[in-house]
Chain A
Amino acid sequence: MSVRVQPLQRGAWTRASAPSTIGMIGIGLGLVTLFLALPPVKVRTAPLPVAIGILAVAAGIWAFTRGEHRLGGGAVVSGVAGIGIALIVLQANAARLEGVFVWSALIAATLRYATPLTFAAIGGMFSERSGVVNIGLEGMMLMGAYFGAYGADVTGSWVGGLFIGLISGALLALVHAIFTITLRADQIVTGTAINFLALGVTGYLYNQHYGNNGTPENLPAVPDVNLKFLSHIPPQGLGNFLYNSIGQLNLMVWLSLLLLPVSYVALFKTPIGLRIRSVGEHPKAADTVGIPVYRTRYAAVTLSGALAALGGVFLSIGFVNSFTENMTAGRGFIALAALIFGGWRPFGAFAAALLFGFSSALAARLPDLSASDTAAWPLLFQTLPYVLTLIAVAGVIGRSIPPAAIGRPYVKQ
């Protein structure tokens, strides 16, 4: 039996209570640093945010040296990031700052960027909870993105695109299932192959069908849900804020939010979920009580492909309304990181997806801070989601517990 790490021992908690409190305060201070420099507060001098940021770093170091590595490290990172962003923001002029940090728009953009990650992460959750690592999420998303656009084009309706995209992802996932479950191939190597295949297949078909012209401009798109009534909620400011942040979101954004409770109930509150988890934790135990291990894994992996493909469908016909080669740009891997970061749970994964989504939204808007339109450095903001993922993966693994049988093919005697 493998050694299991319990998330929080009560003993460990009480023993480390002072450092952990200080660590949390440090993280809080880091966030305050950030908050002070941004609208609506907008402190326009450096000393105050820098002082508070240093305080956060100090608290972090104090907690870190007393054994609270995770919270302490978090406080240091948040303090440094807070100071850094505050200083960058101070360079920008106030008007541009207002333009970039429109919170309602940032919230809407965060949700939009988080949606494909959420679909893929939830998909990955089913696959990994059943014990199959799914590095191929990226490729399955890409399939969804292409076939979503293609399907919408051919059938003339976004519903058709959605279904064709979904099926294409499921089919690719089925390939992953055949190779990893029946043929017991290495799950990570196979996932990598899946990504190459998807890149090649979508690139090939895209070039053949659309070539240099790109996908048609009038692709049927998944509609937005216009909640006009939100803007009438008094007071006016709140109403507008609500309307601008969540009043005009795409249908698939809402779909991804709906997916969260549904997948939570399915995984943790139904017999099917219990069986999926049992297969991922201890397939032989599941086998000895008569649960078909292979069939369960096949179903879970195929479902994961379908869900990841929905994320891709959203990208192509819900978000940018076109397809370009390799348009997923590593989102499948970020979704995987979100899944791990979220402890293989739907809401945890969603919280992580929001974090990554926020960083993408920020990366897309921060270049506007620059006074000159030709400056090159705003391009560096593009690395933000990837750097964040790197930090998250490095900071959290070893803390969250993967399903015990993950990555291991099951050999049925």
Chain B
Amino acid sequence: MADERPVLELRGITKQFPGVLANDNVDFDLRRGEVHALLGENGAGKSTLMNILYGLYQPDEGQILVKGEPVRFHSPKDAINRGIGMVHQHFMLIPVMTVAENIVLANEPTRAGLLLDTNAADRRVRELSRSFNFAIDPEARVEEITVGQQQRVEILKALYRHADILILDEPTAVLTPQESNELFEILRTLTREGMSVIFITHKLNEVLEIADRITVVRRGKRIDTVDRQGATEEGLARMMVGREVLLRVEKPVSDPGDPVLTVDDLHVFDDRGLEAVRGVSIEVRGGEIVGIAGVDGNGQTELIDAITGLRKAASGRVAIGGRNVTGATPSRILDSGLGHIPEDRQRRGLVLEFSLAENVALHDYDKAPGSRWGWLFPRQLIRRARELLTQFDVRGGGPQTRASALSGGNQQKVVLAREIGREPSVLIAAQPTRGLDVGAIEFVHRRLVEARANGKGVLLVSLELDEIISLSDRTLVLYEGEIVAQHGPDVTEDQLGIEMTGAGSKEAAA
């Protein structure tokens, strides 16, 4: 059982960013040998708090105590020296370097005081990795190993620096359910050996599985700290969001019509020249949502790129509404009735420096009434945008506001307004709720269901299994570029999780 003495205490931490109070007088403590979960929505202030603890940000107010001693961290180096290690959500690993190089970086063993001792580094990493039962090759380059292994390299980095407090920021976001279970095993081993773990997440089920205590934060404030015993998903959800949450999306039974998108035996190569999509066939009918589940990097991006014309398919056929569009330009494909909500709205969905009117026009700027014979009519663009912005309840600005001035949720609404507003017959939505808060997620989900009710076909690609399950009429599982399984609306997360790792038999694919 965990020792009662806190190894770490945060007292009254306050951090202000321009326009946002990220942390508001937050208290937190960590006992030796426990897993303490920090639970909250995207944007609740969890990562800010941990970045303060790790010396990446300076708090405006408040105090940090390590083993009872007040400390000030000016850089991660100070935190590392106090035995704190952090596994970031986006791994702090250098892909082109070896595992050993990544681990020893800044604490390199040397020969003659000057030269890098690669052998010693490899040896130490191998010993360390063996002692915790990680099967990791120190000489492999990070870009060559799996995401799960990369995460272990991050943990080894902390252990190599003698950390006894480990912060994990959304560690399961990139893992399959099976890999997550392996991670939990590792964490249990570590805490048994006396390490203390802070586990940042927004996933309720994980919290109940791994944490000893749970601290919930909402909008920068600490709401409560509770023991796992007695905590329930509903109770935690209420604390997290501040109101009752609909965990399932209400939708009528689907009534699929004619096929609107047909993908036939598609083969696509990725940037490295490797076959990323290997013979995928999909049919989406009007009035249904087809979900594609899979671990990131199993060909989703290449598949969508090939359908939307952003990448050339090596072979196969794509048809929209019965018309063959294989090999057509992106703008022709968009014109033939495709809407595309891209993966990353700030990078691909919007031109942040453009006004909302210009953003809404991104596909149709060259069509009447917005333009004629190459002349642009800004007033027409503004009029069209005003209609759509009202229709999609975009707040925080009018047609002439720059897109960068909006919040993430409203930015995504602009993308939805553009893509749904042009009345496509088929809508591709790639991770449409990534990084959004609960309110905005609900909005997006509702609009997708609405599009379905209006007879549009929706192809939903998401890494969030609960999103896939609650929205999809049919679910396809993509593994290493192939559809390995297909399900109706009643499928469980566990089933998908197993199939996403390729463990499911291929016969299941009907």
Contact = CB atoms under 8 A, between A and B. Distances in A.
Contact of B86 (A4, A288, A291, A404): A288
Interface in A276-295: 277-278, 281-282, 284-291
B92 interface: yes
Interface stretch (B271-279, B386-394, B406-414): B271-279
Nearest to A67: B273
A285 B56 CA distance: 12
B114 interface: yes
Scoring B77, B92, B94, B95 by chain A CB atoms within 10 A of each residue's CB, the highest score goes to B94
Contacts of A11: 273-274
B274 A413 contact: no
A219 B96 CA distance: 48
B96 A288 contact: no
Contact of A291 (B101, B105, B143, B270): B105
B166 to A, nearest CB: 14
B115 A9 contact: no
A41 interface: no
A95 interface: no
Interface string A3-21: 1111001011000000000
B143 A289 contact: no
Contact of A270 (B51, B115, B143): B115
Contacts of A6: 272
A233 interface: no
A1 interface: yes
Interface in B51-83: 51, 54, 56-57, 75-77, 80
B397 to A, nearest CB: 26
Given A12-B273, A275-B105, A413-B57, A285 B116 contact: no
Contacts of A12: 273
Contact of B105 (A3, A289, A404, A413): A289
A157 B96 CA distance: 46
B110 interface: yes
A234 interface: no
Contact of A1 (B77, B95, B115, B157): B95
Nearest to A285: B92
Nearest to B157: A289
A3 B97 CA distance: 15
A285 B110 CA distance: 21
Interface residues of B, number: 36
A288 B116 contact: no
A47 to B, nearest CB: 41
Nearest to B269: A12
B76 A289 contact: yes
Contact of A282 (B54, B92, B273): B92
Given A288-B54, A289-B157, A291-B106, A271 B92 contact: no
Contacts of A271: 108, 110, 116
A290 B80 contact: yes
Contacts of A269: 115-116
A404 B97 CA distance: 12
A274 interface: yes
Q: How many residues of A sit at the interface, in one of the four size bands?
A: 20 to 34
B274 A9 contact: yes
A285 B94 contact: yes
Nearest to B117: A271
A277 B116 contact: no
B124 interface: no
A4 B56 contact: no
B93 interface: yes
Interface string B216-231: 0000000000000000
Interface in A374-413: 401, 404, 413
A294 to B, nearest CB: 11
B201 to A, nearest CB: 20
A282 B271 contact: no
Given A286-B105, A288-B88, A289-B76, A404 B110 contact: no
Contact of A281 (B75, B97, B114): B97
Interface in B84-131: 86, 88, 90-97, 101-102, 105-108, 110, 114-116
B275 to A, nearest CB: 9
B274 A290 contact: no
A287 B51 CA distance: 12
Contacts of A290: 75-77, 80, 106
Contacts of A281: 94-97
Contacts of B116: 269-271, 273-274
Contact of B92 (A273, A284, A404): A284
Interface in B134-171: 143, 157, 161
Scoring A5, A269, A290 by chain B CB atoms within 10 A of each residue's CB, the highest score goes to A290
Nearest to A3: B271
Nearest to B78: A290
A281 to B, nearest CB: 5
Scoring A281, A285, A404 by chain B CB atoms within 10 A of each residue's CB, the highest score goes to A285
Contacts of B143: 4
B97 A277 contact: yes
Contact of A9 (B101, B108, B272): B272
Interface in A242-285: 265, 269-271, 273-275, 277-278, 281-282, 284-285
A299 to B, nearest CB: 15
A309 to B, nearest CB: 26
B93 A282 contact: yes
A278 B271 CA distance: 24
A413 B59 CA distance: 11
A284 B101 CA distance: 16
Interface in B254-295: 270-274
6 contacts: A6-B272, A9-B272, A274-B97, A274-B108, A275-B106, A404-B94
Which 9 residue pairs of A and B lie closest in terms of their CB atoms, listed nearest first? A290-B77, A285-B92, A271-B108, A289-B106, A281-B94, A282-B94, A288-B76, A3-B271, A288-B92
Given A290-B75, A401-B96, 18 more contacts: A3-B271, A9-B272, A11-B274, A12-B273, A274-B116, A281-B94, A282-B93, A282-B95, A285-B94, A287-B75, A287-B76, A288-B92, A289-B105, A290-B106, A291-B105, A404-B94, A404-B96, A413-B56
